[in-house]
């Protein structure tokens, strides 16, 4: 069983930055494929970024060039650096881990507003 705990959300002005963190426990972190999803009110949950166990990354078109996903296996942690934030980035952000089964964190709210 994998447990995921997100942190780092909050309120930020348009153009600002936030860094989300997701700490994993319960299994060998290095084998996990990790991802960040988000869900805005009234919308479906969508994949924002992912990083494989070997460090290969992928991004949604809407965040390319603004968001960066990274992982530090020694800390069992995955990060999402979010720059140039826009109001449309407002959502609950969820950490996801995948290895044989899929696991979710509890989510952290990101609000981009002036």
pLDDT at residue number 31: 87
The predicted structure's pLDDT at residue 36 = 98
Phi/psi of residue 74, nearest 5 degrees:
-65, -20
Distance CA 5, CA 104 (A): 9
Tell me: the pLDDT tens digits for 6-28? 999 999 999 999 999 999 998 88
The yes-or-no verdict on residue 57 having pLDDT over 90 is yes
d(CA 46, CA 44): 6
Query: Do the beta carbons of residue 103 and residue 91 sit within 8 Å?
Result: no
Q: How many alpha carbons fall within 13 Å on the CB side of residue 20?
A: 34
pLDDT tens profile 63-106:
999 999 999 999 999 999 999 999 999 999 999 999 989 999 99
């Amino acid at each position: 069983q994998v447990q995921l705990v997100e942190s780092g959300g909050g309120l930020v002005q348009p153009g600002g930055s936030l860094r989300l963190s997701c700490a994993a426990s319960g299994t060998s972190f290095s084998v996990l494929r990790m991802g960040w999803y988000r869900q805005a009110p009234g919308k479906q949950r969508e994949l924002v970024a992912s990083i494989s166990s070997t460090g290969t990354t992928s991004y949604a078109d809407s965040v390319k060039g603004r968001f960066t996903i990274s992982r530090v296996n020694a800390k069992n942690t995955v990060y999402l650096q979010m720059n140039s934030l826009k109001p449309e980035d407002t959502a609950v952000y969820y950490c996801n881990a995948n290895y044989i089964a899929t696991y979710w964190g509890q989510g952290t709210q990101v609000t981009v507003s002036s």
